[in-house]
Structure 1
Amino acid sequence: MLLSVKDLSFAYIEDWILKDLSCHINENEKIALIGNNGAGKTTLFKILTGELAPAAGQIYQKADLRLGYLAQNAEFESVKTLYDELYSANAEIVSLEKKLARLNEQMAAPANDEETQLRIIHEYDELHQRFDRLSGYSYKSFVHGILRGLGFEEDRFNQPVATLSGGQKTRLALAKLLLQKPDLLLLDEPTNHLDLKAITWLENFLAEYQGALFIISHDRYFLDKVVNRVFELSFGQLDFYEGNYSYYLEQREIRQELAEKAYLNQQKEIDRQQNIIDTLRARNREKFVRRAESREKLLNKIERLEKPLTENEAMHISFAPKQESGHDVLALEHISKAFGELTLFQDLNYSIFKGDRIALVGENGSGKTTLFRILQNELTPDSGTVRLGKNVQISYYDQEHSNLNPNNSLFDEISNQFPKMTNTEIRNLLAAFLFTGDDVFQKISSLSGGEKGRLSLAKMMLAEGNFLLLDEPTNHLDLVSREVLENALVHYSGTILFISHDRYFINRIATRVAELENLTLTEYLGNYDDFITKKSERQNPVFSGETTPARPASFLDLAPSNRIEPCSGKAESRAKKDWLLEKEEKARSQKRISRQKKLEEMIDQTEQRITELDLLLASEEVFTNYEKAHEISMQKEQLEEKLLGYYEELDELM
């Protein structure tokens, strides 16, 4: 075991964030820490690293535990270049390299006596073995690989760290941690500031990481690829799940259903017993009163189940266009844009039609946001034309939330832009986006990133546009809010063009993917997974399973055939053939009828067994035993899958 936490508690003033929390982390475990925004995930990380002190509880660490921590916006100051800063990350390798170089020079000195030479050789040999165990000879290539993997091109290796942006410094901080290879790596939103290519590289790296990982992330696709356990932080406590994020969702739903059913069934039984007790007491005879008292004692001994708590606060979003657009929504004709010597796209042509849901992807700096700004008339293309279709009304979600006035309150922000709304309507709207009570009078400047995101979504919903431009709409939203947004967009009848690094989100929303690469747009039908598959096929056609193109038809292919088909001309032969075909058809019909009867019997038996399992799940013996209830639930699920298969086969035979 690397780390253990027992009865940990932490509060801000009187607001308990963590309460009697316990957990442990073993070697090589890869754990996701899941929870709503504000649940205390980052607080827990800061306590584990010693940045915050708990109000109560103990933390036990393995002796000599090497712990690494990446904060959400990890920044640092350095006078070194990007490459030198990263190279110095593993101090032991750098120190050994210098010592070995010094000893090498000493061994070459001609003035050494035999004893001195042997001592130097012995020391060199010991240090060399340690250097080799640390993979010191491949360290330089490892540094290069990590820099490139996280999106730093080789021509920027000598760039001073001081000139990097905040996001680039966070990437560099992540690179340093990966080089140091700590026993336990705590990562708070590690995919922030990474493009899709870098995220894919990171998840492959972490999947093979020889150490333990504890990760806070809203990237569900990333979590599915990397983690093998999930800790859910809710109401100051942790619940534990084995498996990746998708498996966690399934198990969480089962647990919630079982817990709610167990609680309701127990309440029903308590009410029944109480009614019996009340009836016995009402008879007002000694023996009935004694029975009532006896039952009451038994009832009081029952261990009462607590009502299951659910963090069910979620936004209520529904996007609906005020007016339908025409079929042609947008046409880009020969669009080009450059900044100085940097050309982002050239002679770009692309069309978008009503109902399209298109993900715009590409590496950081490829020009995605620039293209959005051109569509918004915030920038002018160097050449080309942007044509909007008939009745097209754009609603724009800006990841920087520049459309929000930081000096306004939430209430004023809505009231100023939508003056026809009443006070009650504004409050109801803001409540739907989880702003209630005095929250509506907060200054926008005091809001978190997630809160600004919710307010921007509220304004976009009110705008009722029929063409949504979304620039990183899931940034800063917690997992529940992301799912609510996805459901709203899936049911939206208008057109969507969006930029996102959230592959799970792209998979749910996109019907087409447009990649901005090599100065142009390349389109792929389908969602993100389809895009990856088809792009791989285009790049590696030999290994993709694609067939070679068919050769053009020749004159020989098109000429009439001069082959003569044999024909007996005998009616008897035709009659015999017809009789055989009829016999085969009757046999097939009998077989089909027999199979139908068998399927109907199997359906009856399976439905009867499912009913029996439902009764078992409702029994006290089962609903109070999680393992037994889970086992029966799995049996029921398997039977329901079989039942569906039987019905599908029966439909085909009918």
Structure 2
Amino acid sequence: MSMINVTNLTFAHDGSYDYIFENVSFQIDTDWKLGFTGRNGRGKTTFMNLLLGKYEYDGNISASVSFEYFPFHVEHPEYLTTDVVEEIYPDYKQWELMRELTLLQVSDDVLYRPFNTLSNGEQTKILLAALFLKENSFLLIDEPTNHLDMNARKLVSQYLNSKSGFILVSHDRTFLDDCVDHILSINKTNIEIQKGNFSDWWENKERQDNYELAENDKLRKDIKRLSDAAKRTNNWSHEVEKTKNGTRNSGSKVDKGYVGHKAAKMMKRSKSMEQRQQSAIDDKSKLLKNIESSDSLKISQLAYHKPQLVELEHVTIYYGEKEACSDISFTIEQGERIALSGKNGSGKSSLIKLICGEDLTYTGTFRKGSQLKISYVSQDTSHLQGNLTDYARDHGIDESLFKAILRKLDFSRIQFEKDISAFSGGQKKKVLIAKSLCEKAHLHIWDEPLNFIDVISRMQIEELLLEHSPTILFVEHDRAFCENIATKIVEL
């Protein structure tokens, strides 16, 4: 066991006036299985790059271990997989690699195929196996689940749970719960570490948030009551003071000493109330700083004139001679939230393309409602560029609503001035989802919409879909999201 000590860490990117970290201090035990969570753009990948020594910073990071980052950059993807592993770790022992691949249920024949011919899931597992061959290293694992289907995620989480000594960035709640024992969270105003998995951390956060909201409400009422009482007492003291120079109704002279004493007493009471009021204001200012924005979002889906939107009967889709999927039968009814489930390569994306109107070769019966309007969110974000104003205009959506949704998904005002191509992967996905929510459609089709999107935004999108119940067909490997959202699962 050794410690990674972070002391007074301060960092901002060149040309930026906003600190990502400011005087941050904490300790990490190198035996921990540490889940790393926080909103998109809060600095998770930046912090890992600081550990790797890629940026200059103020403060101090001390550690007696070296750091290794996942995913590795593969210089020659056309090489045989065994050669790719050797480039990453020249001194590896064959039997150790085979041990790791067995744990990850990868057959050894993949080592003798070109790396770029492997599936995304196989590539991820190979690189993870190579990562855990390295000794005396603290491992920085950045979003390994993005190319893994649900079964592969479960397998990899079991694999990671058998290891220790890593930071894991993932936005999949179930995945984190299955393989971490501490959570490192980047909040709005601080960084904190808690023992336990993601669900433990989230339960503690909700408890703290609810306490602070109740305390905030109580202090707000106290401040108003004390303010009103102080004003009344202050007014009374001034009125009593005025009577010093007046006379009583009987015509006798006023006891100025008594009146002055009474006025001073009231003034003192008023000052005491003002001090208590200021103390309450100070206490109030310490609250709510880390409560995440979770305003509800609005969606208005078009109603279709028939209950059934899409029907497939014994549909098989072909690419040339090869079957993409076979003998698929299901319907999409208004109000249903359907999860398309299955291993990578089982034909989910092909089915989506068919429903969206692509000219694919198929057999069987496929019916789609006439003039059915579909809003589609693709996996790919590489085409996104330009500013958000032009993007909204080019796609015929309401700019103010589009930006309001992005604000609620934690976009800062400064993001609105940037080119979309400079956004993080999660921010680009949010652009596509916000566009889809602004479009007038009968059916929403989302293909792996949550890749790179932070946990809190995922929960927010869940709440939206549950509240407004749009008709939606989606592919998503986040198990918690599917369990919470889907009214029907179509297994391929």
Would the TM-score normalized by the shorter structure come out above 0.5? yes
Q: 1:298 to 1:437 in 2, by over 3 A?
A: closer
Q: 1:500 to 1:20 in 2, by over 3 A?
A: same
Which of 166, 172, 181 lines up with 1:219 in the alignment? 172
What aligned pairs does 1:513-592 form with structure 2 within 5 A after superposition?
A: 513-516=489-492
What aligned pairs does 1:405-484 form with structure 2 within 5 A after superposition?
A: 406=384, 408-418=386-396, 425-434=398-407, 440=416, 442-484=418-460
Report if aligned partners of 1:361, 1:368 keep a CA contact under 8 Å in 2.
yes
Measure the CA separation in 2 of the matches of 1:60 and 1:439.
33
The Cα of 1:499 is off from its aligned counterpart by 0.6
What aligned pairs does 1:2-401 form with structure 2 within 5 A after superposition?
A: 2-12=3-13, 13-55=16-58, 57-61=59-63, 63=64, 65-71=65-71, 74-78=72-76, 80-86=79-85, 94=93, 138-139=95-96, 141-145=98-102, 149=105, 154-161=108-115, 171-180=125-134, 182=136, 184-209=138-163, 211-263=164-216, 265=218, 279=233, 285=260, 288=265, 295=272, 304-305=282-283, 306-310=286-290, 312-314=292-294, 317-340=297-320, 342-389=322-369, 392-401=372-381
| 1:36-61 deviations in Å (ceiling 9; x for gaps) | 11111111111122222322x22232
Measure the CA separation in 1 of the matches of 2:355 and 2:125.
30
Gaps of 5+ in 1: 95-135, 517-654
Measure the CA separation in 2 of the matches of 1:289 and 1:340.
92
Gaps of 5+ in 2: 242-259
The Cα of 1:417 is off from its aligned counterpart by 3.5
Q: Secondary structure at the match of 2:361?
A: coil
2:246 matched residue in structure 1: none
| 1:158-181 deviations in Å (ceiling 9; x for gaps) | 123466688865554322112335
The Cα of 1:480 is off from its aligned counterpart by 2.3
| 1:227-262 deviations in Å (ceiling 9; x for gaps) | 222222123521333322122222112112323444
| 1:4-40 deviations in Å (ceiling 9; x for gaps) | 2122111123211111212212253222222111111
Q: 1:353 to 1:299 in 2, by over 3 A?
A: closer
The Cα of 1:503 is off from its aligned counterpart by 0.9
Q: Secondary structure at the match of 2:20?
A: strand
Report if aligned partners of 1:325, 1:466 keep a CA contact under 8 Å in 2.
no
Report if aligned partners of 1:316, 1:433 keep a CA contact under 8 Å in 2.
no
Q: 1:201 to 1:162 in 2, by over 3 A?
A: closer
Q: Secondary structure at the match of 1:501?
A: coil
Q: 1:439 to 1:293 in 2, by over 3 A?
A: closer
Q: 1:81 to 1:463 in 2, by over 3 A?
A: same
Report if aligned partners of 1:46, 1:52 keep a CA contact under 8 Å in 2.
yes
Q: Secondary structure at the match of 1:179?
A: coil
Q: 1:391 to 1:354 in 2, by over 3 A?
A: farther
Report if aligned partners of 1:68, 1:182 keep a CA contact under 8 Å in 2.
no
Q: Which structure's CA Rg is the greater one? A: 1
One-letter identity of the residue aligned with 1:500: E
Q: Which has the higher contact order (CA 8 A, sep 6+)?
A: 2
Q: Secondary structure at the match of 1:67?
A: strand
Report if aligned partners of 2:120, 2:148 keep a CA contact under 8 Å in 1.
no
| 1:83-139 deviations in Å (ceiling 9; x for gaps) | 343367665553xxxxxxxxxxxxxxxxxxxxxxxxxxxxxxxxxxxxxxxxx8x52
The Cα of 1:378 is off from its aligned counterpart by 1.6
Q: 1:392 to 1:25 in 2, by over 3 A?
A: same
Measure the CA separation in 1 of the matches of 2:416 and 2:127.
37
Report if aligned partners of 1:77, 1:161 keep a CA contact under 8 Å in 2.
no
Task: Select the structure that is richer in helix.
Answer: 1
Report if aligned partners of 2:313, 2:328 keep a CA contact under 8 Å in 1.
yes
Q: Secondary structure at the match of 2:457?
A: helix
The Cα of 1:142 is off from its aligned counterpart by 0.9
The Cα of 1:508 is off from its aligned counterpart by 0.8
Measure the CA separation in 1 of the matches of 2:12 and 2:300.
42
One-letter identity of the residue aligned with 1:467: L
Report if aligned partners of 1:17, 1:235 keep a CA contact under 8 Å in 2.
no
Measure the CA separation in 1 of the matches of 2:28 and 2:46.
17
Measure the CA separation in 1 of the matches of 2:271 and 2:385.
67
Deviates more, 1:223-232 or 1:433-442: 433-442
Report if aligned partners of 1:86, 1:143 keep a CA contact under 8 Å in 2.
no
The Cα of 1:186 is off from its aligned counterpart by 1.9
| 1:502-521 deviations in Å (ceiling 9; x for gaps) | 111101111222222xxxxx
